[in-house]
Amino acid sequence: MNGFPSARSIAESIRTGERSARSVLDEHLARINERENEVHAFNLVLAEQAASSADEIDRRIARGENPGPLAGVPVALKDNLCTRGIPTTCSSKILQDWKPPYDATVVTRLANAGAVIVGKTNLDEFAMGSSTENSAFGPTRNPLDVTRVPGGSSGGSAAAVAAGFASLSLGSDTGGSIRQPAALCGVVGVKPTYGAVSRLGLIAFASSLDQIGPFTHDVADAALMLEVIAGHDPGDSTSIPQHFPSLAPSLDRGVSGLRIGRITDLPEGADQDVVDAVDAAFDTLAAAGAEIIDVTIPAFTYGLTAYYLIAPAEASSNLARYDGVRFGSRVAASDTNAMYMATRGAGFGPEVKRRIMLGTYALSAGYYDAYYGKALKVRRLMANDFAAAYEHVDVLITPASPSVAFPFGSKTEDPLAMYLCDTYTIPSNLTGHPAMSVPFGTGEHGLPIGVQVLAPAFGEPTMFAVAAELERSAARGEHV
Ligand code: GLN
């Protein structure tokens, strides 16, 4: 959509020998050289390592081998995905010098499919944020308008694809961190069903919510990349031992006969341009043969509150390991307790500290039932409400983000305003259901709008059928 070739066409041209993997890589590195200074999508560009992977792909092609579905495709990885011997920082000072001893399962799967890893992308520290302004290494800028944020927390991964620095990238989504930046950067972003993609080697933020997923130029590339990374992994106890459905057949299915839900009690707060785009999406799907059905999901409204207790609670536990002993750059002090405090005080930024304090409070004796326990009950109600809605519909449509990309600094002084970015994305993390953002027209300042498609667990085939239909209609100009 933004003029860059699809990963499918890149892999095809490399497999057929029409192009070399090295020339494709060089083209991407040239774009990085040209614009990375202003965009700052990466914490680390792996130019040399990528060149040797690309050369290896070219040697395999010359030997008549097939390197796989992503042969020679340049891919960027969010810097909370472990890469063996290569710094993995979570955009935090506390992990600045850390090199993981192993690759995340998704990294191994990408390499086995022939992908060329070009670098590690910037994020909000430990994936906490919606703008990438919380990175300890400086913000990422939106390639479509560098005065505005790319969204977050996977802002670097979204920007890398939108700027043509990589053909594909991976992010992680705990409360919307793939779908919201995808919406703000005008690319496709998918949060798969919880357990569909292995979390082994994803540095944990909130383990019961975290899921890895793709950023791509189009829906078919997202299907391809998800098929590569999904599937059971015995190394992740929450990985589902079920065959991941094939997505390619869904792409041309259309939406005829599908029942598409409109949530009548969706929380307010989306800007008018976003509301209009979502209305246009319903119109175009109805015109393509879908039936639009009104449903209610009363618990939707409480998702944000429940998330901002559950996610910090899990984070406070997960981040306890950065103590300067097992993990984390140590700050020396007179005794062990002083060392812990100095290490954590210097190593974590303000948002991470806020989350740890919130989570510790919510879990503490005397408050556990009132806060964490109550949030878990809301999570249960959310699951019940979605299950009831899915008795009547196949997918649901909502905005992905309440607004288009916003200017730097406009929400940094008010954490609650930043948290409101997650209103429409959080429920799918609480239920574990898949959801994706697909570009659908533009709003204020000509900036892209993402429409979110939500489906029940392992409903990815239908979700992709609907997203592909929206993409076709957007290409025909049937949006607002
Ligand atoms: N913006 C949300 C948060 O700050 C979501 C982050 C994420 O999905 N990693 O927690």
Domain locations along the chain: 7-256
Q: Which of 177, 187, 175, 125 is nearest to 154 (CA)?
A: 177
Below-70 pLDDT ranges, the chain: 1-2, 479-480
Residue in 177, 198, 316, 473 annotated catalytic: 177
- 78 labelled catalytic: yes
Q: What span, in angstroms and rounded, lies between the C-alpha atoms of 187 and 160?
A: 10
101-106 contacts: CB < 8 A, separation 24 or more?
A: 102/201, 103/201, 104/198, 104/200, 104/201, 104/202, 104/212, 105/198, 105/200, 105/201, 105/233, 105/235, 105/236, 106/81, 106/170, 106/197, 106/198, 106/201, 106/202, 106/212, 106/229
SS3 46: coil
Taking the CA atoms of residue 406, residue 409, residue 415 and residue 418 in that order, the dihedral angle to the nearest 10 degrees is 10
| Distance from the alpha carbon of residue 421 to the mean position of ligand 1, in angstroms | 9
**Sheet (strand 448-454) strand order:** 42-45, 116-121, 74-78, 168-173, 211-216, 188-191, 435-442, 448-454, 395-399, 259-263, 291-295
Contacts for 91 with CB less than 8 Å, ≥ 6 apart: 43, 79, 122, 123, 124, 125, 126, 134, 135, 136, 137
CATH superfamily of 7-256: Amidase signature (AS) domain (3.90.1300.10)
| Distance from the alpha carbon of residue 211 to the mean position of ligand 1, in angstroms | 11
| pLDDT given for residue 111 in this prediction | 98
Residue of 153, 309, 416 to test ligand 1 pocket, by largest number of atoms within 8 Å of CB: 153
* Sign of CA pseudo-dihedral 188, 10, 141, 205: positive
The answer to whether residues 161 and 190 touch, using CB atoms and an 8 Å cutoff, is: no
Q: What span, in angstroms and rounded, lies between the C-alpha atoms of 51 and 56?
A: 9
| pLDDT given for residue 343 in this prediction | 97
- 177 labelled catalytic: yes
Give burial (CB, 10 Å; 0-12/13-18/19+) of 324. buried
130 C-beta closer than 6 A to ligand 1: yes
| pLDDT given for residue 478 in this prediction | 75
Q: Which of 149, 119, 111, 116 is nearest to 133 (CA)?
A: 149
| pLDDT given for residue 374 in this prediction | 97
Nearest CA to ligand 1 atom 10: 128
Residue of 128, 190, 425, 426 to test ligand 1 pocket, by largest number of atoms within 8 Å of CB: 128
| Distance from the alpha carbon of residue 123 to the mean position of ligand 1, in angstroms | 10
| pLDDT given for residue 2 in this prediction | 65
| pLDDT given for residue 97 in this prediction | 86
Residue of 78, 80, 130 to test ligand 1 pocket, by largest number of atoms within 8 Å of CB: 130
| pLDDT given for residue 3 in this prediction | 86
